[in-house]
Amino acid sequence: MRLSVSVILAIASSICFLTVCYSNDVTAEDELKLRIEQATAGFKDITFVGTATYKNKKAMAKIDSNYARLYDFQSARVYYKEPDKLRIEGKLGMVKFEYICNGSLKIVRAPAIRFTNRKDYADDPAKLQDAFDLGLVTPSLWRHRRIEIVEDSEAAGRGEIKLRLHWPKGDMMHFAWLDAKDLWLKSFEKRSADGKLLFRVQYSNPRKVGDVIWMPTKIEVYTSDGEKAGSTEYSDIKVNSDISDSLFE
């Protein structure tokens, strides 16, 4: 079957129109996600030691209890495996505790005293911890969250990308600032529904670990009134050591 020139031109025009429409549908958020996927394509897992170098108990009592609880450990070994497996091991006194997130399941366990608490947070994933809580920016940022880029000239002037994070449940507002070039987390804020600042986390001393992923190695937590509540430093960092899934059971 031979096609007339007019039919061929009409088909070509339709293809061009569809291409333009598709291109216009690609958002800044889509482009950011693609950049992060490309930047972390070789990342599989990470282990490190987190050491609390400073803690103000009075100030720490003012921030989110789930976050503050991690400062109960003077030192902890952290294991993370993409996309949703986290294990933190530390001691409270002489008792070893294991804190695990695996998918929607959260487990707190102290084998020596035969204590285990399991809870599924499939309906409230904001109560789970993942790579982003460690300061790592990976595609898992989009798991359970809706990400929106906020136009902010001050952030842009500092070489940052400002994000608003939305959860499927609850009305809290989370904001984050990423380094626009290397895509590591620089700052995080948790705010109430009416915009009131609840606490802020500042990340610094970034390193590209194993030439695989950028991560900050110093974390400082501040109350809503600017008082420093705690500080943590990361050491003994290893990437892609093929962590077994059994570690998160």
What are the start-end ranges of the E strands in 124-196? 146-150, 160-166, 173-179, 185-191
Residue 205 backbone zone (phi > 0: left; psi -120 to 50: alpha; other: beta): left
Three-class DSSP category at 39:
helix
pLDDT digits (tens, 9 = 90+) for 118-165: 999 999 888 889 999 999 999 999 988 999 999 999 999 999 999 999
For the chain, how long is the longest CA-to-CA vector? 84
Count, residues in the chain: 249
- Amino acid at position 152, single letter: D
Q: What is the pLDDT of residues 163-188, one digit of tens each?
A: 999 887 777 789 999 999 999 999 99
Task: Go through the domains of the chain in sequence order and give each one's CATH number.
Answer: 34-241 (2.50.20.10)
Strands 160-166 and 95-102: unpaired
- Percentage of the chain beyond pLDDT 90 is 74
Does residue 225 have a pLDDT over 80? Answer: yes
Measured CA to CA, the distance from residue 215 to residue 234 in angstroms comes to 10
CA angle 82, 206, 185 (to 5 degrees): 60
Q: Which amino acid is residue 33, in one-letter code?
A: K
- What is the rounded CA–CA span in Å between residue 249 and residue 243? 12
Burial of 2 (C-beta count, 10 Å sphere; 0-12/13-18/19+): exposed
The pLDDT-based confidence of 71 (bands split at 50, 70, 90) is confident
